[in-house]
Every structure is written in C-alpha cells, then in structure tokens.
C-alpha cells in the first residue's frame, strides 16, 4: 500500500522538475524545485515503509523470537516471554505511529497498557499479544494457533539468562536517529541552505546581464 504513494510522489516530482526547468531563474522556479524535492523525500519515506512492511517477519527458534521490520530487529528470549493471548473483537487499540489498513507499527494503548505493535492485522482477532517483563508486543502471524503452539514448545526447553535487545542495521543504526540535538542541527542546516538558495533565485532576475571591470592605466600595475 505504501508503494503506491511513493510512485505517485516520484511521478509528480519529475513532472514538476521537467516543467520548472523551462522557466527562467526566479523565486517561482525555486519554489517549484523545492516542492519537487519535498515530494522526492516523501517518496523515499513511503518507499522505506513499503520495504519495511514487505520485510516484516517473526522468526521463532529455540533461543527466542525475532521481530524484523525494515532495518530494525527486536529479539525476545524465550525465557522472557511470560504469556501469549489472542486479541478480542472489543479491543480498539489506540496507536501512535503507522496505523494504516493492514499495517500497524508503533506504540499503542490496549486496556490501559502500552503495547508495541508490529502487526499487519485487519481485525483485532488477528492479533497475538506477547507479554514480557519489559514490554508487551502485538504481532499478527498468518497462523496464530500454530504460532502460539511453537512458542510454548520452545519455552519448555528454554534456558534462563537471555536479554531482550534491539538491533538496527545499515542506515537505521546511525547514531543521529538517537540524537535529538544532531537532528535539529541537521534540519537547521537544511533550512538555512534552502533560504540562501531561495534568496539567490529571488534576486537573480534583477541582476545586470553585464559585469563592469575597470583596469588601472597601463604602467601603474606594480
């Protein structure tokens, strides 16, 4: 679903750039190019969400459960899983994050309890809530009864001492995503550069097409 807005945004961006390149250098042209850049950024965001949705998976083995979503991986050791329960039709999760039909990723509230959602459910009955001492996770495997049975089977032979962890790969592991100051500084740098380019585009039509250069009389140059 997220791939459709990404394709639309890219198409609009290239159409806007193609049109803007036929205009003279001016503030209007700068505005059009800036709008195209915003559309490209939105396309990248939607493309990442589409990729993350495509890669969403739950891997269960003897060591624990791994929830993979995009560049993010949550690992929950089997001995840390305290219980599993199926969602109920009367549940109405209030989610903060991606909350689209068939894609729910973020933090939500269910029955007054905070829950981490990594789910593609379309109805509350498709959700499995997994409780650990650190958090409660909401997942939506294709076969919930089999998923619960596999987790319970591995739990019986699980060894104690595991720790929950979060792993970020590639760009998702860059320290800037956890540094609010760096994020604000990067945003400020982008805005200052855009303002500078906007000023140049705005005054360009009023600049003289000729440059006057005065040379000193011959013989006075030392």
Percent helix / strand / coil, the chain, rounded to 5: 45, 25, 30
pLDDT tens digit sequence for 46-89: 888 888 888 889 999 888 899 998 888 889 998 888 888 888 87
Alpha-carbon distances, residue 112 vs 19, 92, 109, 115, 123 (angstroms): 52, 11, 6, 9, 19
204 burial type by CB count under 10 A (0-12 exposed, 13-18 middle, 19+ buried) = middle
Share of the chain above pLDDT 90, in %: 35
- Residue 201 — very low, low, confident or very high, per pLDDT cuts 50/70/90? very high
Q: What is the pLDDT of residue 218?
A: 67
Q: What is the pLDDT of residues 145-166, one digit of tens each?
A: 899 898 888 888 777 777 888 8
Q: Is the pTM of this model over 0.85?
A: no
Q: What is the pLDDT of residue 222?
A: 54
């Amino acid at each position: 679903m997220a791939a459709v807005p990404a394709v639309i945004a890219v198409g609009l961006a290239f159409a806007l750039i193609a049109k803007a390149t036929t205009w003279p250098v001016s503030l209007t042209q700068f505005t059009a190019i800036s709008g195209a850049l915003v559309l490209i950024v939105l396309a990248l965001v939607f493309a990442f969400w589409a990729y993350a949705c495509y890669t969403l998976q739950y891997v269960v083995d003897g060591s624990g459960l791994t929830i993979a979503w995009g560049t993010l991986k949550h690992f929950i050791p089997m001995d840390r899983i305290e219980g599993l329960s199926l969602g109920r039709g009367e549940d109405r999760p209030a989610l903060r994050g991606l909350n689209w039909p068939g894609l729910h990723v973020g933090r939500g509230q269910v029955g007054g309890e905070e829950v981490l959602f990594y789910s593609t459910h379309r109805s509350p009955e498709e959700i499995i809530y997994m409780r650990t001492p650190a958090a409660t996770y909401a997942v939506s495997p294709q076969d919930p009864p089999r998923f619960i049975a596999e987790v319970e089977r591995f739990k019986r032979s699980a060894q104690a001492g595991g720790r929950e962890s979060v792993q970020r790969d590639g760009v998702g592991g860059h320290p800037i995503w956890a540094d609010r100051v760096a994020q604000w500084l990067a945003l400020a740098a982008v805005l200052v550069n855009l303002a500078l380019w906007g000023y140049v585009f705005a005054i360009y039509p009023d600049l003289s097409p000729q440059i006057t250069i005065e040379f000193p009389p011959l013989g006075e140059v030392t």
